[in-house]
């Protein structure tokens, strides 16, 4: 037989108090005498009382449950590590995280009842383009439900006024990557970037403009890529590899801001007979631990996942607890170059954790 759950009435009977007094004492009501609150606490501990977090949240208009809505949770190691980091940051603030994989509107139907029913105290939209009609509809559903939200991993199409945004400077990421490759002696560099992030092209061009070197036909050397489902990665990588290898002059390096393509593209280039990094250097983004174990280990330019998650959760919590009067908050999380062997630099292979990235822009692992 299942053990019956302890109720407020049980605590009230043991403590010799009314249910309403017990309820107020458990909420920390300072109008209840400290001795009475201690008495209620001891009775609750003795009975093994566990409060109903969701019911308490409904009564206080804050369930303390945050939704991390992203389109890549089911196939990207970066998003899975972000979820773990978000969870850690939320727990430190007495909040909980629920990861929701909502790709281009898919899966929205399942979460709408929870949004409308008041389950979420706040929502973090991660790596979405609000130019997409389905994503815009999702944000409107959140607004109509009165749920505070923050846009994380940026959407450059959004105006700064009126939104809470945790921003990644994509142009700066491209600039750092291309400048590093130029310093290594590469002159013709291809780029495989999301079509929804034109800022990468701006950074690419800026890196060349900061030197005396000409940028050779950027309209050909920059290959835009859309959202790629997991089952299509290798087919897409083969097509991209063929396109890169048919460029003339052939690139000697490739920057892959579409990070989910980096591993498959590396594989396809090797299958085509190239030696990496001797024949083709590579730099990507969204650094994860898996990059250390690829052959060769991948160089990346990336935000620190924990630093990024801290900024995102802090911004969302301030938005929730500050109410409608909270002013727009824009936070830009810096990116750092993490050098491994895939770019052609002589480096070690070890993973030394995230702490070393905080001491400078460029980190050699």
Nearest to 207 by CA among 320, 131, 301, 118: 301
Which residue segments constitute the domains of the chain, with CATH numbers given?
8-51 (1.10.260.40), 65-169+306-334 (3.40.50.2300), 170-302+336-364 (3.40.50.2300)
Q: At residue 352, does pLDDT exceed 50? A: no
Percent of the chain scoring above 70 in pLDDT: 83
How many whole angstroms separate alpha carbon 292 and alpha carbon 349?
Answer: 7
pLDDT value at residue 362: 47
* The CA-based dihedral angle spanning residues 227, 230, 231, 237, taken in that order and rounded to the nearest 10 degrees: 70
Span 292-320, pLDDT tens digits: 999 899 999 999 999 999 999 999 999 88
**Pairing state between β 253-256 and 189-194:** parallel
pLDDT value at residue 251: 96
State the chain's mean pLDDT as an integer: 83
Which residues are CB-neighbours of 223 under 8 A, at least 6 positions away? 190, 191, 192, 193, 240, 243, 244
Q: At residue 101, does pLDDT exceed 50? A: yes
Residue 19's region, left for phi above 0, alpha for psi from -120 to 50, else beta, is alpha
Confidence at 90, pLDDT banded by 50, 70, 90: very high
Q: Which residue has the higher pLDDT, 20 or 61?
A: 20
Number of Cβ within 10 Å of residue 164's Cβ equals 23
Q: At residue 57, does pLDDT exceed 70? A: no
Least trusted range by pLDDT, from 222-231, 233-242, 335-344: 222-231
pLDDT value at residue 355: 35
Confidence at 69, pLDDT banded by 50, 70, 90: confident
Percent of the chain scoring above 90 in pLDDT: 45
Nearest to 342 by CA among 234, 241, 261, 255: 255
- Backbone φ, ψ for residue 299 (5° rounding): -75, 145
Instruction: Work out the average pLDDT over 111-122.
Output: 83
Whether the bond into 274 is cis, omega within 30 of 0? no
**Pairing state between β 222-225 and 281-285:** unpaired
Q: At residue 181, does pLDDT exceed 90? A: yes
pLDDT value at residue 77: 84
């Amino acid at each position: 037989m299942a053990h019956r759950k302890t109720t407020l009435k049980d605590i009230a009977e043991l403590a010799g108090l009314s249910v309403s007094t017990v309820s107020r004492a458990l909420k920390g009501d300072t109008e209840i005498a400290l001795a009475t609150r201690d008495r209620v606490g001891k009775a609750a501990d003795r009975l093994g009382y566990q409060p109903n977090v969701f019911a308490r949240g409904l009564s206080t208009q804050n369930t303390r449950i945050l939704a991390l809505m992203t389109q890549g949770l089911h196939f990207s190691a970066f998003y899975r590590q972000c979820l773990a980091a978000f969870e850690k940051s939320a727990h430190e603030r007495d909040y909980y995280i629920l990861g929701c994989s909502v790709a281009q509107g898919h899966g929205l139907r399942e979460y709408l009842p929870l949004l409308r029913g008041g389950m979420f105290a706040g929502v973090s939209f991660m790596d979405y383009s609000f130019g997409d009609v389905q994503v815009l509809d999702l944000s409107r559903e959140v607004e109509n439900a009165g749920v505070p939200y923050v846009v994380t991993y940026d959407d450059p199409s959004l105006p700064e006024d009126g939104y809470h945004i945790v921003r990644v400077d994509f142009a700066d990421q491209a600039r750092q990557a291309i400048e590093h490759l130029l310093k290594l002696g590469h002159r013709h560099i291809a780029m495989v970037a999301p079509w929804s992030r034109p800022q990468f092209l701006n950074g690419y061009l800026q890196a060349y403009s900061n030197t005396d070197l000409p940028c050779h036909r950027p309209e050909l050397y920059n290959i835009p890529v859309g959202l790629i489902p997991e089952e299509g990665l290798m087919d897409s990588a083969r097509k991209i590899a063929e396109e890169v290898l048919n460029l003339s002059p052939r690139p000697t390096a490739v920057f892959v801001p579409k990070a989910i393509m980096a591993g498959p593209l590396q594989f396809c280039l090797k299958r085509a007979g190239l030696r990496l990094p001797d024949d083709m250097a590579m730099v990507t983004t969204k650094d994860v631990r898996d990059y250390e174990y690829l052959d060769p280990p991948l160089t990346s330019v990336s935000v620190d996942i924990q630093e990024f998650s801290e900024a995102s959760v802090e911004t969302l919590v301030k938005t929730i607890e500050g109410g409608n009067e909270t002013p727009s908050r824009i936070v830009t999380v810096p990116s750092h170059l993490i050098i491994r062997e895939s770019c052609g630099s002589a480096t070690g292979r070890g993973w030394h954790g995230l702490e070393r990235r905080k001491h400078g822009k460029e980190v050699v692992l």
